[in-house]
Structure 1
């Protein structure tokens, strides 16, 4: 006979550990050790990892007030990864640097992929022009090659044409694309930003 999984929602892990410690009596580990044990049993590296994941999810929920149809995306997303990736982009939604972690690289590339024209073949110079307006470290070749290896972009064998690969982005990429589009929409035009900066008194 198969066993049905039982769920247990704990509002306060610290209070739960105190109650459990009282029941275990003298054999109970210390309070902090018990909390770390329960965090690991829940699939986290330790208590610090649990807190970091929950804090990132809370920040992401505050940023992304979505309709009920998008709530599933929120639930599926790795919010820690999403936050790391968002930190790689500036206030205008441009990629500041090439991330060191592969997972962050791939997620960042989805944000660039989303801005390429769909269903249209592009010459290499056109792809470069699109990528150059989306990043600040002047390396469109690395971006192109990695997008091809990640299955986001295809290229003819003779190099004469590139095309975006149409696909459904993962949950983190969907949230990232929305967040960066909001940044770009709210950012002042480059000329206006420079004029505002020039008008500020020197400190």
Structure 2
């Protein structure tokens, strides 16, 4: 089968990339005796780099003409290595924002507890307070909104933070009404905007 074009792959954090790929391979190994096929492995690599799948990665690549224009265009200044990179965010909220990709999906599970809490608020946005969810439905929403293959941890932490309520032995979930602190509001606005843009692009 001919290869139409090269597909560049860029990982923001090689350590997070490796961890995500390892988790995906472990999950595949538990479910299948055989090694992942070519397409499955491509999808794993794409997800580890923060994309939904290989098709999403391909779609994100600029065309040849766009790439040529980018070479001619003046380069943007890099964000500072330290301190908030987003002008409207506190340093903690900015750290949380860096865990999300341009489509508003959580790329990695933060190591710092307070950043984890901020990131969970970003996932809370995607649930509807007017409906009840089954556990598979909760997992489906979470899997759309993160890239490292651990919806169980995210679901448990959302319940622990009282952002989701679980009842009937875990058969039913609902979004709880919660009031984010003022520090979180600019972060949630940014994540909502990213998710909207990502949905429009899809």
TM-score calculated relative to the size of structure 1: 0.55
Residue aligning to 1:177? 188
Which structure 2 residue ranges, 5 or more long, are not aligned? 1-81
Whether the 8 Å contact between 1:118 and 1:166 is mirrored in structure 2 is: yes
Bigger radius of gyration among the two: 1
RMSD: 1.9
Aligned-pair distance for 1:178?
Answer: 0.7
Q: 2:163 aligns with which of 152, 162, 175?
A: 152
Aligned-pair distance for 1:157?
Answer: 4.3
Whole-angstrom distance in 1 between the partners of 2:162 and 2:153: 14
Whole-angstrom distance in 2 between the partners of 1:186 and 1:144: 25
Deviations 1:72-125 (A, max 9, x none): xxxxxx700011001000111100000001100011000111110113211001
Whole-angstrom distance in 2 between the partners of 1:139 and 1:161: 20
Whether the 8 Å contact between 2:96 and 2:118 is mirrored in structure 1 is: yes
After superposition, residues 65-144 of structure 1 pair within 5 angstroms as: 79-144=90-155
Q: Which aligned segments of 4 or more residues in structure 1 are displaced greater than 3 angstroms?
A: none
Whole-angstrom distance in 1 between the partners of 2:173 and 2:122: 17
Whole-angstrom distance in 1 between the partners of 2:187 and 2:115: 11
Whole-angstrom distance in 2 between the partners of 1:167 and 1:113: 10
Whole-angstrom distance in 2 between the partners of 1:185 and 1:156: 30
TM-score calculated relative to the size of structure 2: 0.55
Whole-angstrom distance in 2 between the partners of 1:180 and 1:162: 23
Residue aligning to 2:201? 189
Whether the 8 Å contact between 1:90 and 1:96 is mirrored in structure 2 is: yes
- Number of matched pairs: 120
Whole-angstrom distance in 1 between the partners of 2:138 and 2:197: 25
Whole-angstrom distance in 1 between the partners of 2:162 and 2:97: 22
Q: 1:165 aligns with which of 155, 168, 176?
A: 176
Distance 1:142 1:59, change over 3 A: closer
Whether the 8 Å contact between 2:125 and 2:192 is mirrored in structure 1 is: no
Whether the 8 Å contact between 2:107 and 2:146 is mirrored in structure 1 is: yes
Secondary structure of the structure 2 residue equivalent to 1:126: helix
